[in-house]
Amino acid sequence: MASLRAARLASLAVAGVWSLPLGRPPPAPCSAWAAAMEPAPRWLAGLRFDNRALRLLPVETPPPGPEGAPSAPRLVPGACFSRARPAPLQQPRVVALSGSALALLGLEAAGREAEAEAEAALFFSGNALLPGAEPAAHCYCGHQFGQFAGQLGDGAAMYLGEVCTAAGERWELQLKGAGPTPFSRQADGRKVLRSSIREFLCSEAMFHLGVPTTRAGACVTSESTVVRDVFYDGNPKHEKCTVVLRMAPTFIRFGSFEIFKPADEHTGRAGPSVGRNDIRVQMLDYVIGSFYPEIQAAHPHCSDQVQRNVAFFREVIRRTARMVAEWQCVGFCHGVLNTDNMSIVGLTIDYGPFGFLDRYDPDHVCNASDDAGRYSYSRQPEVCKWNLRKLAEALEPELPRELAEAALEEEFDSEFQRHYLQKMRSKLGLVRVAQDGDGALVARLLETMHQTGADFTNTFSLLSSFPLEPQSPGLAEFLTTLTSQCASLEELRLAFRPQMDPRWVLRSFYHGVCFQKGRGIQKQRSWGLLETASPRGPTQASSWEWGQLGSNCDLGLLVRGKPRDTDVGGAQVGWG
């Protein structure tokens, strides 16, 4: 019977089971008619939905129109969500299930593997809806690379609903890659197999590393394809559409509160709900009451709302500081630390161009589009603090700016340092007594790792085998093994070499200075200077000098290996 049931579910998945036009939600997502159109689950039948977010926050009903109109790109003013419908996939099939994540929902696949995979392929691809699910897309804004981008929203993800478990927990389920929404802009709302596997694996790896994170319950691929330029080299290819089931208490983020932002002085963009302080109050009440109940209980009276909001912001600061401290301790680089990728409950969310350190390099950048290194490994703590400041701005007037700034200065740095040192002491086995010099010890170790090109993870792993017991390897053997994690001289030379020809970088920068000064420059003059700066020019700086200077070569005119000042259009500019 189980195999017959599985075959039936698989055939339903292939068929798509829809009688509605693609992308158009039914008039009432939870109506008896809509439920009758969906296949009845068995393995997933125990999931009980209670979609509090859609009850307590404003939801836009898509405007009527032709097929595809509900998912047409548009501004969504006056709402936190817009109802949506996953677009069906051809022949969905399970790539992987996370038993430990699904167990949080009360799901156990042992002995029911065929049934579990068939239902996961059908329901977690979006080809059918579970009873009680109400798919919707969340509206939010964000500062991207330091600039306000206006409305963003769930362009490739859909809220399914919130599952309440027997353990008393509430888990929001989300399908990432489920198709277009009003926030997809010009994209197709799809994710592909390679990026989905990365998100699935990293979500679960981070959890098992002890880092606060969203979870990934399932990864489902299909025979549907989209075109992607994998290497951005002008050679696009067809890739399989894939969906990840993501789980978290909530996916509300800092950018969720930026929908009220008036026109930005730099970009001119504004949020879609400017002036709607009533919705900001609703969101604060919802977030604090649902995810910070101890704070809500400590401030029950309406007259105490400002102090409640200050206490809430302080706890968000502390959770964020602890989260980024955990990242630094495992060598994790997020890659896109925009305000729309910062969880309001202190979780790691949205695994895009992330990476982990191999050779320890504090300036490592894992995102190829981050040309300025804004989100480099070493800058993650300060960027998180910057994002918290933007959250504080978004909470005004419910959170007075001066109180928020005071809380940020009092809490973030101290909480980050405390948690970071606690974790690093643990990694080094310094668990008995905390000493004042522990921070300097950690800093010296990391500097040594940087100078020698040591592997970040393997170095800490090998330190755990330091010979203390008689049966342990000898000290000489241990040191040999440890130094094997360091880079060779050739590897270090390659690692520290300039990343681009300094002649062209310098020319661009030099002309930029002239442009800002409103002056022209003679071509012969500029090329003469560039010839001086080039390692192939008159100075013939050694490869070691260029390697040591690294990216600073972009701003340095070398004369006998040293920077000098030069005259730019009559203005003295120091290069170096």
Which residue in the list 340, 350, 361, 455 is annotated as catalytic? Answer: 340
Element spanning 467, H or E: none
> Helical H runs in 435-522?
438-452, 456-463, 475-483, 489-495, 502-517
d(CA 562, CA 570): 22
Q: Which two tokens stand for residue 535?
A: 């390692």
d(CA 258, CA 458): 41
d(CA 506, CA 525): 13
The upper half-sphere exposure of residue 256, i.e. CA atoms within 13 Å in the direction of its Cβ, equals 26
Are 189 and 181 in contact by the 8 Å Cβ rule? The answer is yes
Are 290 and 52 in contact by the 8 Å Cβ rule? The answer is yes
Are 238 and 119 in contact by the 8 Å Cβ rule? The answer is no
> Helical H runs in 346-437?
380-395, 401-428
Cis bond before residue 397 (omega within 30° of 0): yes
Q: Quick count: other Cβ atoms within 10 Å of Cβ 245?
A: 27
d(CA 258, CA 267): 14
Q: Which two tokens stand for residue 73?
A: 């790109």
Rg of the chain on CA atoms, in Å: 27
d(CA 514, CA 573): 11
Q: Known catalytic residue: 340?
A: yes
Residue with tokens 């730019």: 568
- By C-alpha distance, which of 414, 416, 408 is closest to 323? 416
Are 256 and 344 in contact by the 8 Å Cβ rule? The answer is yes
- By C-alpha distance, which of 388, 430, 380, 422 is closest to 405? 388
List of residues 6+ apart from 197 with CB closer than 8 A: 95, 96, 219, 242
Alpha-carbon 80 to chain mean position: 20
Rounded to whole angstroms, what are the CA distances from 269 to 123, 182, 261, 341, 383? 38, 18, 9, 19, 22
Backbone angles phi, psi at 565, to 5 degrees: -90, 150
The residues carrying an active-site annotation are 340
